[in-house]
Every structure is written in C-alpha cells, then in structure tokens.
Amino acid sequence: MSKISIPVYKMDGSKKGTISLGKTFLETVRLDLIQRAFISEQSKKRQPYGADELAGKRTSAHYHGRRGTYFTMMNREMARMKRIHGQGFLNYTARFVPQAVKGRKAHPPKPEKDFEKKMNKKEKKKALLSAIAATFKKDFVEARGHVLNGVETLPIIIEDKLESIRKTKDVVSVLEKLGLKKELERVKEKKVRAGKGKRRGRKYKKKKGPLIIVKEDKGIKKAVKNIPGFDVSTLKELNVSLLAPGGMPGRFCIWSESAIKELEKIS
C-alpha cells in the first residue's frame, strides 16, 4: 500500500502543508497483543506488600506433649495446640496457630512475590505499533467515545510551535480552532462511580481525552496539566497504556510535526 498524505495545521487552524505517513500507520491492529502489553505495563506498577513475619507469633504460648509432667496437655479434652501457661484467666488459651484468636495468618501476602507479567520484546514493539495504527482508524477512535465533529483527518498533526506553548488558555484556543470544542466539553464530565469504589478514594469516573505527542517538551506538559482528560507524552515515553487506556485501542491523538517525522525514522 502506498503512503498516505495528511495535512499539517498551523496554530491558527489553517493548513500549512501535507506530510506523508509511512508504514507505521498501516500496521494491522492486533487487539490481543495490545491487551497483553497493557496488562504487562500495569503489572509493573503494582507495589509489593506483605505481612510482618512475626505477626501472631509474639506470644509465650507453647505446647507440653509429655505425660505425667507439670502442665501436661496430654490426656486432656482439648486440642493439641500451643497454649498460654500460668497467666491466670488466660491459662490454656490457644495462640500462635492460624485457627486461634490473635494467631498468625495461614498464608499471608509475601513481599517477595513478583507481580510482573512478562512479554517478548518483539511482541511489545508490535503491540505499540499496532496501538499507534489504531489512532489513525476512525472507527476505533469513535468506539472509544471521542467526538470527531469537524475533524477531517486522523491523526491531527500541528506545526512544532505546539511544543513551546506554556499557557493552558493558549492550548485550549488552538484546540478550539481545530474543531475540538465538543471534545473539550466531553472530558469535563464526571460521574459518581457505582459500587464500593466511591468510598475507596475513587468516587468519580472521568473521561479520557486526547493524547498530545511531541518530540521534545518545551513547556507543553505544564500547559496541558490543567485540562482534564488530556495527557502529553514525548515520543520516547510513548507506551501502550497511553495509546490504549484500559487496553482499548483508538485514543484520539494530536502529533507535533517533528514527532511524526521522528516516528518514521525509528519505526
């Protein structure tokens, strides 16, 4: 298949020229690889945790197994487990074992457990290219819920001045000129989460907006920080989690001209 030409826009929304997209945007979208790569990336963020090794074991409880000795626990109608001795009302109270009150846990979480889901390097690269290709396909982008009214071609490519914007209002102005006013309104919506999650520090559900991809951050990250749902990534930091949140490909992407050119070199 031949290369596809896509317009490059100026900051005022007018067309500057065209740029040819190479083979990266013509990759087959592999949903299975994207899902696996997403899970692999998320698994690396899990923090190891575990119980104190001595939890439930800090006790004087012990077991007397000999017959005919003082405090023997043989030939008594009680389970043979470690018990407290000589402690008044706590005498013969079971401790230490998992089934006892204040006993240890049978199988506590262990901090040495490795949560990482590994993935082959070539598969990971294929998943990333596949996720990039999905941003070029309108049906995938619309399936994610993005509003494309007024957007002629995907992805949107803007001249390199985009990377140097330092103010949020300037970013919003550029986006509105490119026909993304409804998309900006969509990402402002937030709903109260259904279920127990609302009392576990995640009360609201918010929309994922467009991803801005640049070659170099010259202030754009700070400018976009206050726009809900939007993310900024340099080409080196780009990953499947940003391109396909939740493992679902087709995030609406806005590229700087130099980032697109650099992508063609490394892919």
Cβ partners under 8 Å of residue 18, min gap 6: 5, 6, 7, 8
Q: Please tell me the number of Cα atoms within 13 Å of 176 on its side-chain side.
A: 7
pLDDT at site 142: 92
Sequence-ordered list of residues with C-beta below 8 angstroms from that of 108, at least 6 positions apart, any chain: 50, 51, 55
Q: Which residue, 260, 250, 2, is CA-closest to 132?
A: 250
Residues in the chain: 267
User: Is there a contact between 149 and 179 (Cβ–Cβ < 8 Å)?
Assistant: yes
Share of the chain above pLDDT 70, in %: 99
Asked whether the CA dihedral 200, 204, 207, 212 is positive or negative, the reply is negative
Render pLDDT for 93-129 as a digit per residue (tens, 0 to 9).
999 999 999 999 999 999 999 999 999 999 999 999 9
Contacts (Cβ under 8 Å, ≥6 apart) of 119: 36, 37, 40, 127
Residue 115 has a pLDDT of: 95
What Rg, from alpha-carbon coordinates, does the chain have?
29
Domains in the chain with CATH codes: 4-46+116-266 (3.40.1370.10), 59-114 (no CATH)
pLDDT (tens digit, 9 = 90+) per residue, 155-187? 899 999 999 999 999 999 999 999 899 999 999
What average pLDDT does the segment 88-94 reach?
92
* DSSP letter (8 states) at residue 99: T
Helix (H) / strand (E) containing 204:
strand 204-206
In angstroms, the CA 116 to CA 166 distance is 37
Give pLDDT, residue 146. Answer: 93
- pLDDT tens sequence across 212-236: 999 999 999 999 999 999 999 999 9
- 35-67 residues labelled b (16+ CB within 10 A) or e (exposed): bbbbebbeeeeeeeeeeeeeebeebebeebeee
Q: What are phi and psi of 191, to 5 degrees?
A: -125, 150
Residue 150: both structure tokens together: 């007024």
Report whether pLDDT(2) > 60. Answer: no
Residue 76, judged by CB atoms within 10 A of its CB (0-12, 13-18, 19+), counts as exposed
Per-residue pLDDT at 78: 86
Instruction: Record the pTM.
Output: 0.84
For residue 266, is pLDDT > 80? no
- Name the DSSP class of 94: B
User: What mean pLDDT is reported for the chain?
Assistant: 92
Is the pLDDT reported for residue 134 higher than 60? yes
